[in-house]
Structure 1
């Protein structure tokens, strides 16, 4: 295997948000992206080389901004970062595209930082096992030749074929202008200038090169020695090849000459498959999943020479960019497909805050959505499954797809979320092998939802993001096992952990796990509901003679973080967030036995179609605890198809009445009938100062 366990740096600050007693929000923050353990046993699973991992495109970020985010980038599973071009260009409050109009082949401060800053980035990234890729512009320089390298001002260093390029003519593609005069790539001095620049970057600590407009630079096959001269094969190299070496229609794209040119490129570098990226995002824009593989794989190119994306800086930042106004969630679903594939690397684009081409500026840090639970989970799967073949399978109606790997899978919906899916577990490859995920029970890293995998099918509920990811890691953990743990002694007692107000107990897809001083490994705790407070707490059987316990947040994969060691009190059985112990008898608990199904409570839902800033549910009657007005604060689940927020709360199954309120004077009418499991409510109008309600059945 080519992956490695890169140890977490000591001293990283733990961060967590307040959890609402055992309820897992439908859109949690991933543990990798939000928290990291500070002990030497925990770390980041990142790829040893760029091609095996995934790349975060820090478009227009300064080197210092990237340095500041390195801990979160590593936790999110990115093995590499890509910077904008480092060549000297217009400096100051400049628009992004000026970096693609450089003056020379040398590192210069054009708004991203100095060469010393670039070196610092490379040094700091090494500490996390992250590779640094720099975008290199070698096809052209700035159109204003008064400021370019004086050595390259002579006519012999430039092509003179004009800008009216016929993109079905390879010679015109490699000799015509694409907005700036085209460098004569066949010239020896041009090649040496670029080669020297590559070595400067290498000496600064850069690990890889992204070759801008590589399609427009001739190949040795065409009598040009550029690539054989400038490529340093000790570094990672990938080239921007949009559509193909020539632009043909869908059928002609696979002509022998075009494929031969592409294979020639891949003898020097990996290449982008923009057609595949376009196909994938177009499918999600239509509310379905893509129907198949990328065209270059079908044409015979190996996936380990390809770089995929859901969007790039060209599709976002340029006028008329095809993804500029596409919802981020659709981009994430597309990335989930391409980022889960075997062999190919995948690029995740950090979107600028601005959308106007002329307002996207150099040095302005983009979105940190790369930290989201769904993106990080895809990356973790990618890294865990390095060297495992994949198989892409879909439902017959293209409403869902799965990228199946031996150790896990990524399941993606074409649209919507919170619904059950059953899909084929892999299939027969061309070589006669059958690729499937190892049968067993797994848990989605994003939501914690259970997935059952048989020899033939994968079944489970995909959450609100439309993405589910589950896998088993190298330690043999995963699939929700959490380790066997336990003590050999048969003398045990029950303890209960109330995490309602624990600031160290994050709200994400992880669950509580425990290891006492008598145990060797962590075991996941089960959940229970106290009938005295109607709170969900965690419970576990521990050896009677145990004197201390360590509580952690554990992911479905078995990785854990946020360690908290407590002293066990032999006289009491319930630990609260303020560090106190007290005793409750076991008949005050409704034990779920780890099934996750509450026997004495039901879940109700409220669609906040009036956009209340807070949502509470007030109940009365029955055996449940009657709370003080305005009731208990409900927990956010996600958004429905109309982008309205949905909230949930578990209430007593035999309560006599229910009111929803914002806690500030607005409330619904009394609801005294039809209260049932998965009952949903929304405001349908105003009646005598109180809002009337409509009902629906919440579909998970």
Structure 2
């Protein structure tokens, strides 16, 4: 999926030849791009066409590399949420999307955002999506010229809960957890004036011995290379300053960074890599150097400009733009081109006492005008979660809409259009700043007070400029003097795009759909007029952002060809998309009913869509007996469903709890979802949990190290247990005969919040015949 030089050369040669053909014009470049995609598909994976697309102007005006563009931090968005918004992301001027952590966490689903930062393995897939979802996202992003970079955790893992914060979680991959050489043993509070403690101490989470080459070569490097193979274009390393450098001269020396970076670059030489190295300013008590080692990390990776972000926030809060004009961007001599710049990050917004927590969207926009307009650094825009705190109900969903706000979008596009242009900073007063970029463009911001410019010095070329935000009016330049009015509390974005062609965005951009209907949204920019035609029908005029629906009541395998044309004074752009209504998804749910039940009903629904979908109204539909206590029902036309079972007033899962999520054929027995029918050589084992007091809405479940107990994943734990004699609970689960298991009791509520039993794992060997029983005390 990565670039291959031989293919690139061939495609460049193809383009060169096309340019020499009679009648071939730049307006026909889109056709050449399509031809290049066809060539790629014939001999290489389709995404390799991204190598070719990087050499020509992107359809959306996006730069070809992450370093030159703008990053959207799609914080806690699921892979499919990002995928469905790619058109809007491209239109808003972002050429790179940073995902949240992709590794499995000790809570699934996570109760809060920070639980995603407690991984239990170096693998891909959690509540944000599967590895297949991630690969599909990367493939779709390539079509828009968008890069995908991934937040990864290599410094630490999940802990074992309250009172055991420094110790690895019981749910951690046992091969890592049980290898003593994989762990740092310093568990006291960190003295941040001691560099060794910064890189060997636990930050409230168990610290991995990243210098261990077995850990690197068996787990970390294969994980990163697999992400690259799936389509990742780069990485953000969380807590990077807590991973030592060769320059630290430790014993043993830590060559994590040269080893890991070399492996990534071998897989993808263009991979964009940066690390979270927060500039604390602490000096080492032994040698007097900064313990964040900022300058040394810059030898290996790009870095977060946290100090400059603080300067920008203070400039806006204090109404003193001069605080944000450092030519070094607070980088202590590090090349500003290696810095990731921001107004705020997820830490400054979500952590307790976060510096940007109380900043308004207006303040963020004003800060973004500085960050995005300046010459150096790669700007990153953090999308705030919609609930303002990143709780479980928002994880997987897009945050607020500020990321695509009119002013933010105009500034992103300005940044992209100004590549290679030197900056001139003009502080008019404490509240008004002008940032000139060469002779091509300027950004003006006014924190307070309307300002009329008459003969204001500027580098802009002579001409008339319309504010791209649409808030301020026209500005004129003559003989190096700017004239115009900037309104109080606004931003003006000034540059002329010349004769650029219209840009069309269609989402989704071609593909198949299995539901009865498919909604398609069409948008355009830099155009005065647009039409669409479906299956060669007469063109219909539409406004940008219009949605249409196809597929209703049409037979399977119906093909739709959508042709969209946008026009401006320079000419027209046409985009053609093809959609196929394919056979509806269907899968069979098999359910092993409790012995006291009659024929069970299945009720299924999906409330992740609006409006909520459901099959038959409660209590649902009677299932079909398969014998031996098993019943089945086939769900058709749904990509996913949440299922519940009931009989005679009893129901599983219990009232107030979510149904089991199913997406394919499955067998559900004793609260466990299996990909195949459980073996008949299983033994019913009754778990008794005593002294387990619960809060309203909590139930008791059993979680353990085998599939029947959920493989330590709370969402798949067996249960809920019955409570015949509170606070004693009982649950019978069919387990493999003769199997030795580890398990714990957990308390779980309808929101997925989990409380783990604090005692060590219990062990039990299932009998080879008859029944089994085991009793534990909470």
1:62–1:113 Cα contact (<8 Å) kept = yes
Q: Which residue does the alignment assign to 1:167?
A: 192
Q: Which residue does the alignment assign to 1:340?
A: 373
1:7–1:41 Cα contact (<8 Å) kept = no
Structure 1 358/68 Cα, relative in aligned 2: closer, same or farther at 3 Å? closer
The one-character-per-residue Cα deviations of 1:76-130 (angstroms, maximum 9, x if unpaired) are 110000110000112125321111000011112x210100000010000000000
2:451–2:487 Cα contact (<8 Å) kept = yes
Structure 1 165/463 Cα, relative in aligned 2: closer, same or farther at 3 Å? same
Q: Which residue does the alignment assign to 1:280?
A: 312
Residue 145 of structure 2 corresponds to residue 120 of structure 1: no
Residue 273 of structure 2 corresponds to residue 237 of structure 1: yes
Residue 291 of structure 2 corresponds to residue 268 of structure 1: no
- What CA distance in whole angstroms lies between the structure 1 residues aligned with 2:122 and 2:345? 24
2:80 to 53, 58, 64: 64
1:336–1:378 Cα contact (<8 Å) kept = yes
User: What is the SS of the residue equivalent to 1:173?
Assistant: helix
Residue 255 of structure 2 corresponds to residue 225 of structure 1: yes
In the TM superposition, residue 361 of structure 1 has moved relative to its aligned partner by 4.1
Q: Which residue does the alignment assign to 1:139?
A: 155
Q: Which residue does the alignment assign to 1:289?
A: 321
- What CA distance in whole angstroms lies between the structure 2 residues aligned with 1:204 and 1:300? 36
Residue 396 of structure 2 corresponds to residue 363 of structure 1: yes
The one-character-per-residue Cα deviations of 1:176-227 (angstroms, maximum 9, x if unpaired) are 1111011111111222221111101001001010111111111121242001
Q: Which residue does the alignment assign to 2:115?
A: 98
2:110–2:392 Cα contact (<8 Å) kept = no
Q: Which residue does the alignment assign to 1:494?
A: none
User: What is the SS of the residue equivalent to 2:208?
Assistant: coil
Q: Which residue does the alignment assign to 1:302?
A: 335
- What CA distance in whole angstroms lies between the structure 2 residues aligned with 1:157 and 1:219? 17
2:70–2:94 Cα contact (<8 Å) kept = yes
In the TM superposition, residue 138 of structure 1 has moved relative to its aligned partner by 1.0
Q: Which residue does the alignment assign to 1:466?
A: 490
Normalized against structure 1, the TM-score is what?
0.58
- What CA distance in whole angstroms lies between the structure 1 residues aligned with 2:473 and 2:522? 19
For structure 1, the 5+ residue unaligned runs are 11-39, 427-435, 483-503, 515-549, 564-700
- What CA distance in whole angstroms lies between the structure 1 residues aligned with 2:320 and 2:571? 33
2:322–2:430 Cα contact (<8 Å) kept = no
In the TM superposition, residue 48 of structure 1 has moved relative to its aligned partner by 0.8
In the TM superposition, residue 372 of structure 1 has moved relative to its aligned partner by 1.7
Q: Which residue does the alignment assign to 2:282?
A: 247
1:395–1:423 Cα contact (<8 Å) kept = no
For structure 2, the 5+ residue unaligned runs are 1-25, 35-55, 161-167, 503-520, 531-564, 576-778
Q: Which residue does the alignment assign to 1:215?
A: 241
- What CA distance in whole angstroms lies between the structure 2 residues aligned with 1:551 and 1:59? 33
Q: Which residue does the alignment assign to 1:199?
A: 225
Residue 406 of structure 2 corresponds to residue 373 of structure 1: yes
2:446–2:487 Cα contact (<8 Å) kept = no
Q: Which has the higher contact order (CA 8 A, sep 6+)?
A: 1
Number of residue pairs matched? 451
- What CA distance in whole angstroms lies between the structure 1 residues aligned with 2:385 and 2:295? 34
- What CA distance in whole angstroms lies between the structure 2 residues aligned with 1:199 and 1:53? 24
2:279–2:292 Cα contact (<8 Å) kept = no
Structure 1 276/422 Cα, relative in aligned 2: closer, same or farther at 3 Å? farther
Structure 1 286/131 Cα, relative in aligned 2: closer, same or farther at 3 Å? same
1:553–1:562 Cα contact (<8 Å) kept = no
1:450 to 447, 471, 474: 474
In the TM superposition, residue 408 of structure 1 has moved relative to its aligned partner by 0.6
2:436–2:460 Cα contact (<8 Å) kept = no
Residue 418 of structure 2 corresponds to residue 407 of structure 1: no
The one-character-per-residue Cα deviations of 1:631-673 (angstroms, maximum 9, x if unpaired) are xxxxxxxxxxxxxxxxxxxxxxxxxxxxxxxxxxxxxxxxxxx
Aligned-residue Cα RMSD (Å) equals 3.7
- What CA distance in whole angstroms lies between the structure 2 residues aligned with 1:218 and 1:404? 39
- What CA distance in whole angstroms lies between the structure 1 residues aligned with 2:571 and 2:335? 32
